[in-house]
A = this chain, B = another copy of it.
Amino acid sequence: MREQKRRKLEARGWKIGTTQEFLRLSAEEAAYIDLKVRLAMGLRDRRRRRSLTQADLAQRLRSSQSRIAKMEAGDPSVSLDLLIRSLLILGASRRELSRIISTRSPVPAA
């Protein structure tokens, strides 16, 4: 969440905390979701870099536009397995996967 938006919401009476606090996630669940978000972002980046629409990508992955949308959104109905297989099909190397996973947080600490 961007600083500006945070201040705006706080001004309207919202309490701001980490997603983890709010949903009372265990450390593993939080790490799992964090990982999923990273992979999702990695997938979206790769798709955009190639100027593909979600529909285009769906065809390559033999999936559907709606599932691509869910993947990129980190939807709970999407497994890490599918995200990783998709990245591999897009030609991501283990090294790149590794980088995607260990990159600095996509969501700045609250």
The chain A residues found within 8 Å of chain B, CB to CB, are 28, 31-32, 34-35, 79-81, 84-85, 88-89, 93-95, 97-99, 101-102
Contacts and interface: CB of A to CB of B under 8 A. Distances in A.
A89 B94 CA distance: 22
Q: How many copies does the complex hold?
A: 2
Given A35-B94, A98-B99, 5 more contacts: A28-B85, A31-B88, A34-B94, A94-B101, A98-B102
Contact of A80 (B31, B81, B95): B81
A59 to B, nearest CB: 16
Contact of A97 (B88, B95, B101): B101
Contact of A84 (B35, B95, B102): B35
Contacts of A79: 79-81
6 contacts: A28-B88, A35-B88, A35-B94, A79-B81, A80-B84, A97-B101
Contacts of A99: 98
